[in-house]
Structure formats: structure tokens, C-alpha cells
Amino acid sequence: MTIPHSPRKVFLFDDFVPGTVLGEGTETYDADQVKRWQSLFGNTDADGASGPAEQASLATVMMMRAYLNIVAPRPPGNIHAGQNLNLRGLPRPRETVRLAVRCIDKALRRERRFVELGVTCNGDDDRDIFSGKLTLIWAA
């Protein structure tokens, strides 16, 4: 199930329903992503370029981009309180992966609105790449 959401309506705490898919999208491990990563970390084998370090980093980038693109627009003032990533594989160069973002839970704690989102990523042949969790303190 995908949550009905207008692209112009800001996501509010009340819009999150645990167990509901908020949206899906794709990311491609392409030359532009590699270039940006290597501009930060280096482009040699010793820097981790074109290997597992680059691939794992880009998995994190893909998770965050899925959240930012799917759960939008967001109210100003949200706090990114935590994240974890459970890698079961690595994205491959030139691979287009599918990402889904869903609401895992939401709760009021000490007058703060906590939202937990799950992100799953599958690659070619439905290969399971990772699952992640984002914990956010939602502003409104």
C-alpha cells in the first residue's frame, strides 16, 4: 500500500501510518555518482575507489536520496536522530536499483514526534542489497 500524498502537501507527523509504503524510486550507480564520491575520497585503489568502500558509501547515499526524494516536502526543523544500514550485498557499477521507503513506527516521546522509516534496496534480478532505518524527530 502506498500512502496517498499530494506532491505539494508537506509531510506532517499525522501523515505517517506505520506499515505504509510512502513511495518507491530508482537510483543508478553511474559515472556521476562515482565522480562525486572520488572527488571527496580519491580515485586510487588505496583510496577505496571502484571497490567495496565506494560501493558501501554509495549504498548510504542511495538510502538518503530515496528518503529525501520520496518524503518531500518536509517541514523545516526536522532532526536526523540516527540511521543504520544492513548490507547484504553491494550495488554494482552501472546498476539501477529499486528503493522503497515505508513508515516503520511513530511515537510521541517527551513531547517530541519520533518517526522511524525503513528503506529497502533491490538490484538486478531482485537481488537484496540492503535495508536501512532512519530515525527522525519530526518538526510538525
pLDDT in tens, 3-28: 555 556 999 999 999 999 999 999 99
Q: Of 92, 95, 99, which Cα lies nearest the Cα of 69? A: 99
Residue 114 domain-assigned (yes or no): yes
Residue 19 domain-assigned (yes or no): yes
Cα-to-chain-centroid distance, residue 59:
9
Residue 27 domain-assigned (yes or no): yes
* Parts of the chain with a pLDDT under 50: 1-2
pTM for this prediction: 0.90
The CATH number that applies at residue 124 is 3.10.129.10
Domain extent at residue 35: 13-138
Residue 8 domain-assigned (yes or no): no
Residue 29 domain-assigned (yes or no): yes
pLDDT in tens, 64-74: 999 999 999 99
79 Rama sector, left if φ>0, alpha if ψ -120 to 50, beta otherwise: beta
Helical spans, DSSP H, in 1-140: 31-41, 52-70
What does the pLDDT read at residue 1? Answer: 45
**How far separated are the first and last CA of the chain, in Å rounded?**
24
Residue 98 domain-assigned (yes or no): yes
Domain tally for the chain? 1
Residue 97 domain-assigned (yes or no): yes
Q: Are the C-beta atoms of residues 103 and 79 closer than 8 Å to each other?
A: no
Residue 1 domain-assigned (yes or no): no
